[in-house]
Chains A and B, each alone.
Chain A
Amino acid sequence: MRWIFRKAALSLFTLFCAITINFFLYRMMPGNPVDMMIQQFLALGYSYEEALTRVSMALSFVPTAPLHEQYVSFLKGVLTGNLGYSIWLATPVATILGYGIPWTVFSVSISLVISFLLGIVLGMHMAYRRGSIIDKVLSFYSSITTAMPQNILGFFMIWVFAIQLKWLPASGPYSGVDPRVFNLDFVISVLRHAVLPILTYVLTTVGGWILTMKSSTISVLGEYYVTAAEARGLKDRRIVTAYVGRNAMLPLFTRFAIALGFMFGGVLLIENLFLYPGIGRFLNQAVYARDYPLISGLFLITAVAVVAANFMADLLYSRLDPRIRFE
């Protein structure tokens, strides 16, 4: 039990660090973005006082107060869910998050599940047939795709499937339908628009799952209980599923939980290429607009997801693998 508390404490501390980095990056950087925000409002014709109140509202702290007071009120704002106002969209940051999160979760969770399952099947197959053509080709594919920026493959996807073949739409979450009416047309449009982002995501991430599953399976195959199961004359099918597969998948479940957490941080390139209105797309647009409250809110939600997922992964692993609990 004690290590769960330790993990929880570390997770909270990490979040605290993320929030602090977030805050101080604004205040400490040369050129001071907060001053730039005030300048922006001054340029729009506001008086200095008005500019200051607007900026304070957007940031959830008063930029002229002493630094530690700013920090405390920023922390308070984050803890109470007040993430400030987006300057660019003139809406609360929380509302924008509420709009962007479902799109990212929808497209990435489907991609992740496909990628994970595909990786497990292919990785295990390769571990059993080491040195075969499939093993060689997929090993090469897996090791180079991990180094490729995701939008690079995305360009080819758009070029082939959207421009040359004209099978699928190249950008946006839906088109030609009314998003307020939830009907079959809307669902079909959303699914069609999600195909290319999902395909790109799967093709660029499946390599990681393949390599992990392959090496995990290889190490399980060397265990005595597998030899013992073979010696007992169990059917191959049963050995593959109940003995090798189950144990080889253990470390992958943890990685899956962590990957779920990284979903907001990992889709930057794909969402921006396909103009998909998720967290990654908003982050890039917020950077273009120099919309600091929005950047900060998006970074926070990304960090929260990662930390929470890491904690869940630890809990999950201790449930799945009793050896960890007794360490």
Chain B
Amino acid sequence: MSERGRRMSKRLMLAFNVIRKKPSTMAGFIIVTFFLLMALIGPFFFPLDIRAYPAKRYLPPSLEHPLGTDAYGRDVLMQIINGSREALLIAAMTGLVTISIATLIGVSSGILGGIFDEVMMRITEIFLMLPQYPLLILIAASLPRELNLFEVSLIIGIVQWPATARAIRSQVLAIRERPFIEAARCLNLGRMHIIFREIIPNLMPYLVMSFVLALTGGIYSQVVLFSLGILRFTSVNWGVMINIALGEAALINPKAWIYLFSPIVCIVLLQTGFVLISSALEEIFNPRLRTEE
């Protein structure tokens, strides 16, 4: 246990060093932490209040309303903060669904090989060929009732797993060829030991990186679904805000610009943060990139 603990702390130190060395990675972590905090504790300070206040329509930014108000007199900052919780929740659940399906299929396909691999990869290929966003819309449009957050995440995950599954499979194939696996096989350590104690731990950094990429996919897809108004919605969410703003022709109404551009700036920042972190993880995973400096 202590041996394992020491190895873990060594790895964490290594990860921390990589983060510290590059300002862009640091920036990525700061951005994502900022939004995480916003989603976790923000709503306690700015509770969601979606009642309309006709007297407060489109107020300019002030101390009381730092980002002004929208067409219904609701505080924009309050919507942004509560929206971050939903945006991140959908992204996180989408990431989990994507990674779970992709790992299950990628790892089993890479390890079992043979006919199973062949069939699985053909299925993956077929899914990859189906156009992603139209398929997402087709599924969303076929569901006549309102979806909860988990269902939204589920359909996004179901649509976006194939590319990740294929990448994980090729990683498994590469790891399988490494000498230490051969050594484990010579030691007759058993299949389960090789899969769970040798292959999966070595795959872990790659899985984490894929998870972060799946998060960006989750944000992207929910923006597609919500900003186009394809999913019916009851709550506040960045994509929903864009959709409402566009419905009120916010682009040609200077008073509504803050309302439209606040969620946009948040999406841009958050996606940038995720991308920066995933490229840092790629460096940790792939030391050859690290020495390139």
Contacts and interface: CB of A to CB of B under 8 A. Distances in A.
Contact of B251 (A30, A163, A290): A163
Contact-size category for A = 35 or more
B40 to A, nearest CB: 23
Given A30-B145, A287-B141, A265 B227 contact: no
A155 B220 CA distance: 16
A224 interface: no
Nearest to A284: B228
B220 A147 contact: yes
A262 B131 CA distance: 7
A14 B130 contact: yes
B143 A31 contact: yes
Contact of B134 (A13, A31, A147, A268): A268
A155 B224 contact: no
A89 interface: no
A322 to B, nearest CB: 24
A298 B133 CA distance: 12
Contacts of A151: 223, 227, 242
Contacts of A306: 129-131
Tell me the interface secondary structure of chain A in the complex.
helix
B274 interface: yes
B122 interface: yes
Nearest to B267: A152
Given A295-B141, A299-B134, A10 B271 contact: no
Given A10-B122, A36-B144, A303 B130 contact: yes
A295 B244 CA distance: 23
B171 interface: no
With most chain A CB atoms within 10 A of its CB, the pick from B24, B145, B271 is: B271
A149 B227 contact: yes
B237 interface: no
Nearest to B257: A159
B37 interface: no
Contact of A269 (B126, B129, B135, B224): B224
Contacts of B133: 265-266, 268
Given A25-B139, A25-B142, A143 B279 contact: yes
A295 B271 contact: no
Interface of A: 10, 13-14, 17-18, 21-22, 25-26, 29-33, 36, 140, 143-144, 146-149, 151-152, 155, 158-159, 163, 170, 262, 264-266, 268-269, 272, 283-284, 287-288, 290, 295, 298-299, 302-303, 306-307, 310
A37 to B, nearest CB: 11
Contact of A264 (B24, B122, B131): B131
A8 to B, nearest CB: 13
A107 to B, nearest CB: 17
A22 B132 contact: no
A88 B142 CA distance: 16
B192 to A, nearest CB: 34
A21 B134 CA distance: 12
A268 B251 contact: no
B138 A265 contact: no
Nearest to A272: B228
A155 B264 contact: yes
B132 A158 contact: no
B138 A25 contact: yes
B131 A33 contact: no
Contacts of B130: 14, 17-18, 21, 303, 306
Given A264-B131, A268-B134, A287-B141, A163 B252 contact: yes
B260 A155 contact: yes
A26 B144 CA distance: 10
Contacts of A299: 131, 134-135, 138
B181 interface: no
B268 A265 contact: no
A265 B129 contact: no
Nearest to A263: B131
Interface string B251-293: 1100001001100100110011011000100000000000000
Contacts of A13: 126
With most chain B CB atoms within 10 A of its CB, the pick from A18, A148, A266, A307 is: A148
B129 A29 contact: no
B137 interface: yes
23 contacts: A17-B126, A29-B142, A29-B144, A30-B145, A33-B144, A143-B275, A147-B219, A148-B220, A149-B220, A151-B227, A151-B242, A152-B268, A268-B134, A287-B141, A287-B230, A288-B229, A295-B138, A299-B131, A299-B135, A299-B138, A302-B134, A303-B130, A303-B134
B122 to A, nearest CB: 7
Contacts of A268: 133-134, 137, 224, 228
